[in-house]
Amino acid sequence: MLKYSIKPSSKISNFYYDKEHDLLSIFLKNNIQPTTTDEPFDDIYFFINETKNIITSIEIWHFSKRNINVLKKKIPINFDFSTVLA
């Protein structure tokens, strides 16, 4: 269970996949600035606003090597990970 949440009204504002570094960055549209970073799973980083206890963005390192079904269970957002490498 994660100790941080995603604001219910948050939607994905943008995402960026850096193929050279195999890094997926997902930005949430919640108008909240991050204050810290947490690594709840190996090479998966949550940028968090500690005051509001809200995830503001997510980075997934080594994205192409990951199992998409596992990612869906670990990351509490409505995002179609299969579209990134398509």
pLDDT score recorded for residue 75: 85
Does residue 3 fall inside a structural domain?
A: no
What's the whole-model pTM score?
0.85
Q: Which residue, among 46, 6, 2, has the nearest Cα to 25 in the 3D structure?
A: 46
> Is 25 part of a structural domain of the chain?
yes
pLDDT in tens, 41-80: 999 999 988 888 888 899 999 999 999 999 988 887 888 8
Round the average pLDDT of the chain to a whole number and report it: 86
Residue 85 belongs to a domain: no
The whole domain housing 24 covers 11-79
Q: Answer whether residue 74 is part of any domain.
A: yes
Domain membership flag for residue 6: no
**18 within a domain of the structure (yes/no):** yes
Q: How many domains does the chain have?
A: 1
- Identify whether 5 is part of a domain: no
- pLDDT score at 86: 78
In a domain, 84, yes or no: no
CA distance linking residue 1 with residue 85, whole number of Å:
28
